[in-house]
Amino acid sequence: MPPGSLAPLPPPQPKLTAKAKKGPGPPRRTPLTRPLAIFASQFTPSMLVERRQNLLFIGRRL
């Protein structure tokens, strides 16, 4: 039984290496977050309020 319990321990080590490989992943995602920030910056609170009012107006007409 003791050798069997030692066998499962090696697999976690490969998992750690996999996480190390995933490290470069986040830098790839960062370029996508920048356009999202620019896109979000285009919307001002007033624009959101106007959109809300337009939706309410359309809802009332329906």
Give domain limits for the chain: 31-62
Question: Computed from CA positions of residues 60, 55, 57, 45, in that sequence, does the dihedral angle turn out positive or negative?
Answer: positive
pLDDT at 50: 82
- List, for residues 11-43, the tens digit of each pLDDT value: 544 454 555 555 555 555 555 667 666 666 766
pLDDT at 2: 53
pLDDT band of 54, cuts 50, 70, 90: confident
pLDDT at 26: 53
Terminal CA-CA length for the chain? 72
